[in-house]
Amino acid sequence: MISQQIGPVLFIQGENRGRYPYCNSIYIEEAGILIDPASDRQALLEIRDTKPLRQIWLSHWHEDHFMHLDLFDEVPFRISDRDLPPLTGVETFLDWYGIENPEYRAFWTTMLKDQFHYQPRTPDSFFLDREIIALGSLTVEVVPTPGHTPGHLAFYFREPEILFLGDYDLTPFGPWYGDLYSDIDRTIESIRRLKAIPARVWLAGHETGLFTHTPEELWTRYEGVIYERESKLLDFLSVSRTLDDIAEACIVYGRPREPRAFFEFGERAIMKKHLERLRKNGWILQEGKYYTHL
């Protein structure tokens, strides 16, 4: 685990370099604020037991960003009200991912409870879009960045010009937009909104997670993954294909991976979003269960 102090903000890299199922956390000691508590359980325990802690902030509802929230049952937490429903119960959580396969739902239910310590929680308050929050010497702007989830938020620390990107993480994998309420076009809008913010340091939820030079090429590559997936899908649809055919092509993950309840679900979920977008824009034709590039 690596932690680095950047002015008033402590960056805590998650286990396994912040790769799923972990994320990178942010801690502001002056204000007693911890953001996305899913990095390193021991490090978070140390903060809980030795540092001021007044509030937990969640950038969004996904499990790899709240995994260790169970350590902080007595600490108030905040999230966007648009991302509240999945936190109210496991069945709603799975519905929001769009998981319908009973076998996959059983797998996810066990994983959520055993690995991610899932338990229903009620936020003590909700963030407002563009809300300005005074934290002592710091001012934080709440930046709405929907697409990944309906209520995904980024946080811009104005005085040190530090931008926490949440799950717009600039990784080579690219954006995730496979949830039931995810949206590719809004994801693109959010990427461009974040890119335009005049930060000097960028902190992201996964992997490298700390950038001190303008990540111009990373932004381009990150958004470009969307179009690469789309281009590969259109090529694949030069002949009629079903969703099963498309999922088996592994355009997102490159090859079949285990557990299928995680990877096959993710492959189908993201490809369904592209099919919806391509059909809406007139690029493909759907006839029954078959899709074809026009």
Domain spans, the chain: 3-214, 228-293
Does residue 215 have a pLDDT over 90?
Answer: yes
Give mean pLDDT, residues 255-275. Answer: 98
The CA distances from residue 40 to 16, 18, 21, 199, 204, in Å, are: 9, 9, 11, 26, 15
- Taking the alpha carbons at both ends of the chain, their separation in whole angstroms is 50
Cα–Cα distance for residue pair 292/294, rounded to 1 Å:
6
Residue that has been written with the tokens 């338990």 in this structure: 119
Question: Which tens digit of pLDDT belongs to each residue from 18-55?
Answer: 999 999 999 999 999 999 999 999 999 999 999 999 99
Please indicate, yes or no, whether the overall pTM of this predicted structure exceeds 0.95. Answer: yes
CB of 75 closer than 8 Å to CB of 104: no
Residue that has been written with the tokens 């769009």 in this structure: 98
Domain 228-293 sits in CATH at 1.10.10
Cα–Cα distance for residue pair 235/292, rounded to 1 Å:
10
Mean pLDDT of all residues belonging to the chain: 97
Cα–Cα distance for residue pair 10/4, rounded to 1 Å:
6
Q: Which two tokens stand for residue 122?
A: 């009620």
Share of the chain above pLDDT 90, in %: 99
- The closest alpha carbon to 167, from 140, 189, 145, 186, belongs to 145
Query: Residue 40: what pLDDT?
Result: 97
Question: Which tens digit of pLDDT belongs to each residue from 100-109?
Answer: 999 999 999 9
Give burial (CB, 10 Å; 0-12/13-18/19+) of 2.
Answer: middle
Give mean pLDDT, residues 172-196. Answer: 98
CA 175, distance to chain mean position in Å, is 8
Domains 3-214 and 228-293 are alike in CATH topology? no
User: Is 3.50.50.60 the CATH number for 3-214?
Assistant: no
Q: What stretches of 136-254 adopt beta strand conformation (E)?
A: 138-144, 153-157, 162-164, 201-203, 210-211
Question: Which tens digit of pLDDT belongs to each residue from 48-93?
Answer: 999 999 999 999 999 999 999 999 999 999 999 999 999 999 999 9
- The closest alpha carbon to 127, from 78, 76, 194, 55, belongs to 78
Cα–Cα distance for residue pair 176/126, rounded to 1 Å:
24
Query: Residue 183: what pLDDT?
Result: 98
Does residue 1 have a pLDDT over 70?
Answer: no
Question: Which tens digit of pLDDT belongs to each residue from 123-182?
Answer: 999 999 999 999 989 999 999 999 999 999 999 999 999 999 999 999 999 999 999 999
Query: Residue 2: what pLDDT?
Result: 79
